[in-house]
Chains A and B, each alone.
Chain A
């Protein structure tokens, strides 16, 4: 620009610019000398703290015994605080100390979100044969005990902007838990969708929450339940395994529906071959994560000569270094827990990312379908140790 640019006039412009310093100083001088409002007092920060506390101390208020192998635990705050509200279908992570191990396990909340407002959560634990944590909980947790837990997490649940108005829920075993929460949420009017629940069990004795489910179905016409028994025949119930035909029989014939699945591994395997027959789009099919023990011997792509080996595991944690070891059949997370090294973990299924850590050196195996890492994480050597198994000595940075 050849000529000097003026906005108003030379004099006024320069004054305006000088005022940048004097004007600011004036404002600063006039401002209060008392420290500004603490950020935690803003409404949105307060809600953030309420919904996502770092951890929860919960008291076991009551134990409902279905059998020696299945119990429900009613939990309340041991700190007199409000329990974080949650979305029906989410899980609570509980922390356990078993011997020298420090570990966590996720359990879907089997209570309604509304119950959390009156101060209660409920989880329901089923014994896993040879399982490590479930047995410990069932055999040790008593009313009055105080446990540590981490606030509700997880993406399994109804999302009206995404899912069809009708959901066919497929539950097996302890996989019934998130559906109870969803059904309660519908019945109380907090969720608005139709839930048709197909609940598979071996026999009538293995059906959990039957009374509760039947009562919900009676009082709410948006919820229906159908029991499917695999090991016994009865006129009152469907029999066999839950597959495409049964889903078709109960699903709406002339409108879109979503399928939500939560149950044991074999059920997932079976449904993965059955569901394609329904010709639904990917978005209408959602599986809850499954965190059970993996049999690497049958895992596609796993180098079989690595089975039953033991590797050294060097752990870097904020300037400290620990040496321990890792069985090839244990996830790296499990090895850390066995060594009593507390690590951040929630879902144990590769999804939540809480356990994300850097492999400084070493080779590892990630089973198919559970590699939910960010692209850059994979590129820069990060893994989710809950889903990574050692193939050599490992150096890992956990924090």
Chain B
């Protein structure tokens, strides 16, 4: 009989790589299985002509270059022993955010990173709003303290309760509200809302529905703690993690799709590979989406009813669309002076979400010019631009067929280029030397993403980040099965998916210790 592993990790995306490396670091015999021939999942890159394109990462939070002790993700990478294998480049600019369809109300704001600098710049656009800006950043501190406190609770005592309803009451009060509800309470002026709301397309939920804590922890970690990008694209992070995993004795198999996660008597005990091989393990960490795990990978009869209902009470998040462009001029020549451009149709985020349902109405894009941060990321005299858009609604892209697909995606890419040129005044079209277009179909193909989503489950309704964290203990689960990645508790994003990988491994390790002690 084949040997048995302590743990099998299904999927070498961000969550899977961190979970596997952590388990290997703790001396666990770990097998990492990936259906592709490269690690990283979304965290990857590809080469066209003389350009290497980043596939997904715009900027990474959690490394915290502005904080003396570094951010929480830096700590995870340090502990795993991978930090010295990755070279980070610190970003200077937060974003340039603009609207194009609001007529005379259109805005165009450019903001730097760093709390002081950010607030100072807001004053240029909206004089006299220093107080409210400070209040918003102070609320971030309140939230972070609240989260730190909650995650530090070991025994729930009357003192805990006292603290919760004492020094952390503000946190509790705010937990259930959306960004706009808190903005209303603080009477935040429109310009300040528009500026602070700039990042919202990173989460894809309109600000009437997006949980305040969710959004502002993200904003805080970018603006206050600082943002970085890896010098060799996110593929460099994926390679570094895999390198460390293998150095620690972990086994990674590529081109090895998993057909089934094996579950018996409500306990995961291994996997069945597409090639028919069965491999046994004590634990399984699943970095494939829970959606696919429950609908494809696990025998339906073995799934607790609660998990099926919970899955059905979730909504798939927005779909992705991206255009990758290699330009045959330098970014200086083209006037591409910003790292991140957020272009919206309108400042009304609820209406924007409606417009995001159709290709003819959607103009949203988050566009990165990588050379502004890494001037030599492409050959001299050239530059790299990647534009990402998102589509809302389950039915967007349902009108596309295999035959019309290439034309359709090209048409939308064409529109994104037009929108970008019009909004920024930078002429890029005649300088396109390489272009690649990724549509929801591409994401469905590449990561098996259900309906081509790139943000996992929609963090709205009763499935916001606060709902997920507060409810994590409830409902029957499959024993010895853990989930990691962007569909899980901390919602979408690079930093959250690495973090949930770490949490999943911690969960496995804690349970291993508990079971060892019980024996």
Contacts and interface: CB of A to CB of B under 8 A. Distances in A.
Interface of A: 1, 4-8, 10, 13-14, 16-17, 19-21, 23-39, 42-45, 47-52, 82, 84-85, 87, 117, 155, 159-162, 281-283, 318-319, 344, 351, 353-354, 356, 372-377, 379-380, 382, 399
Interface in B381-404: 397-398, 400-403
A318 B2 CA distance: 12
Contacts of B52: 374-375
A21 B444 contact: no
A33 B308 contact: yes
B225 interface: no
Contacts of A36: 291, 294-295, 308, 311-312
Contacts of A19: 176
Nearest to B433: A283
A380 B182 CA distance: 47
A45 B309 CA distance: 23
A162 B475 CA distance: 53
Contact of B319 (A44, A87, A318): A44
Contacts of A377: 235, 239
Given A24-B313, A24-B463, A28-B306, 18 more contacts: A5-B139, A14-B173, A16-B175, A17-B176, A27-B461, A28-B475, A32-B309, A38-B295, A42-B450, A44-B441, A48-B441, A49-B445, A161-B435, A372-B47, A376-B235, A376-B240, A399-B37, A399-B253
B403 A85 contact: yes
Given A33-B305, A35-B295, A37-B295, A155 B172 contact: no
B116 to A, nearest CB: 19
A25 B308 CA distance: 13
Contacts of B292: 39
A356 B38 contact: yes
A25 B397 contact: no
B471 A25 contact: yes
B120 interface: no
B255 A399 contact: yes
Interface string B207-242: 000000000000000000000000011011011101
A-B pairs with lowest CB-CB distance, top 8? A16-B176, A283-B433, A13-B173, A48-B445, A5-B170, A39-B450, A31-B312, A376-B236
B256 to A, nearest CB: 6
Contacts of A162: 432-435
A283 B312 contact: no
Contact of A35 (B243, B300, B475): B300
Contacts of B510: none
Contacts of A5: 139, 142, 170, 173-174
Nearest to B85: A380
Contacts of A379: 232, 236, 239
Contacts of B435: 159, 161-162
Contacts of B170: 1, 4-6
B406 A87 contact: yes
A5 B173 CA distance: 7
A26 B462 CA distance: 9
7 contacts: A1-B170, A5-B142, A13-B177, A45-B448, A45-B452, A161-B410, A377-B239
Contacts of A281: 328, 433
Given A44-B441, A85-B402, A282-B328, A375 B295 contact: no
Contacts of A27: 313, 461-462
Contacts of B253: 318-319, 399
Given A5-B139, A376-B239, A161 B470 contact: no
B259 to A, nearest CB: 13
B466 interface: yes
A155 B242 CA distance: 29
A89 to B, nearest CB: 12
B115 interface: no
A33 B433 CA distance: 51
B149 interface: no
Contacts of B46: 353, 374
B402 A318 contact: no
B272 to A, nearest CB: 14
B12 to A, nearest CB: 12
Interface string B434-455: 1100011111110010111000
Interface string B460-490: 0111001100110011000000000000000
B37 A354 contact: yes
Given A35-B308, A161-B435, A162-B435, A28 B410 contact: no
Interface in B49-65: 50, 52
Contacts of B235: 374, 376-377
Interface residues of B, number: 92
B48 A21 contact: no
B108 interface: no
Contact of A399 (B174, B233, B256): B256
A159 B405 CA distance: 14
B512 to A, nearest CB: 23
Contacts of B306: 28
B310 A31 contact: yes
B422 interface: no
Interface in B125-144: 135, 138-139, 142
B304 to A, nearest CB: 10
Nearest to B181: A7
B319 A14 contact: no
B84 to A, nearest CB: 13
A16 to B, nearest CB: 3
A28 B309 contact: yes
Contacts of B303: 35
A39 to B, nearest CB: 4
A32 B256 CA distance: 33
Contacts of A34: 308, 312
Interface string B116-128: 0000000000000
A1 B475 contact: no
A45 B291 CA distance: 14
A358 B139 CA distance: 48
B233 A374 contact: yes
Interface in B281-340: 291-292, 294-296, 300, 303, 305-306, 308-313, 319, 328
Contacts of B305: 33
B181 A375 contact: no
Contact of A21 (B233, B312, B429, B471): B471
Most buried by B among A13, A19, A47, A117: A47
Nearest to A8: B185
A355 B235 CA distance: 17
B332 to A, nearest CB: 18
Nearest to B243: A380
Contacts of A10: 173
Contacts of A38: 295-296
B45 interface: yes
Contacts of B403: 85, 117
B413 interface: yes
A84 B432 CA distance: 28
Most buried by A among B238, B291, B312: B312
